[in-house]
Chains A and B, each alone.
Chain A
Amino acid sequence: AQSVTQPDIHITVSEGASLELRCNYSYGATPYLFWYVQSPGQGLQLLLKYFSGDTLVQGIKGFEAEFKRSQSSFNLRKPSVHWSDAAEYFCAVGARQGAQKLVFGQGTRLTINP
């Protein structure tokens, strides 16, 4: 069965510092990978996705992620965070068993120190 692990439940970084959020997945075939962001009380906004091709994927708001098949990882990075990046971040793998569905990790809550 597909699964996604986000090892860090809560991360705090200073504004202007670099960020890396970890994501490991378990999936038997070529994964379709996603990072979503959720602000308090809001729905999910797609930051970026990996379907195939270049393993370094650029997304919105200055985020990028790198797919590493050998490590089953899809870590999210940003070189310099802004206070507005404070939110919950979810990694997900797209699966297809009849229905297409997303399997999400538990999420990482990002806090930004001024």
Chain B
Amino acid sequence: ETGVTQSPTHLIKTRGQQVTLRCSSQSGHNTVSWYQQALGQGPQFIFQYYREEENGRGNFPPRFSGLQFPNYSSELNVNALELDDSALYLCASSLEVGTSVFYNEQFFGPGTRLTVL
């Protein structure tokens, strides 16, 4: 069974640039969630994708956007980068089996460290 993978491992950008982070979900999982972890903080939920559509969103501006592909992999795009976007970005996959199951465990990837200069 393949776990959650993310690329790249590290990334350095300058203010105003755009960035794309990638995530491959664990085998058999159809739902991907993205989290931002600033230095010294706990992860914060950005959004979740299920069946290629955004399924819910945290308190992040529209310049944070995402995609999910038919193979359930996902991208996180951030436009107009700001210094405060510097963080570890974590992807988590899970198996959404329907609303009858309240909560499905999420499995995390190793993260992408983004530095904005």
Interface residues of chain B, those whose CB is within 8 Å of chain A, are 31, 33, 35, 40-45, 47-48, 50, 55-58, 90, 92, 94, 96, 102-111, 113
* A43-B110 CB under 8 A given contacts A94-B103, A100-B103, A100-B104: yes
The contact of B48 among A90, A94, A100, by CB within 8 Å, is: A100
In whole angstroms, how far apart are the Cα atoms of A76 and B103 in the complex? 21
| CB nearest neighbor in B for A42 | B110
Instruction: Map CB proximity to B onto A35-49 as digits: 1 under 8 Å, 0 otherwise.
Output: 010000111111001
- Is the CB–CB distance between A44 and B56 below 8 Å? no
- Is the CB–CB distance between A106 and B45 below 8 Å? no
Closest Cβ of chain B to A70, distance in Å, is 22
* A44-B90 CB under 8 A given contacts A32-B102, A49-B105, A98-B55: yes
The contact of B105 among A41, A46, A98, by CB within 8 Å, is: A46
In whole angstroms, how far apart are the Cα atoms of A4 and B41 in the complex? 12
In whole angstroms, how far apart are the Cα atoms of A44 and B67 in the complex? 23
In whole angstroms, how far apart are the Cα atoms of A54 and B57 in the complex? 32
Asked if A97 is at the interface of the complex by the 8 Å CB criterion, the answer is yes
Q: Cβ of B56: which chain A residues have Cβ within 8 Å of it?
A: 97-101
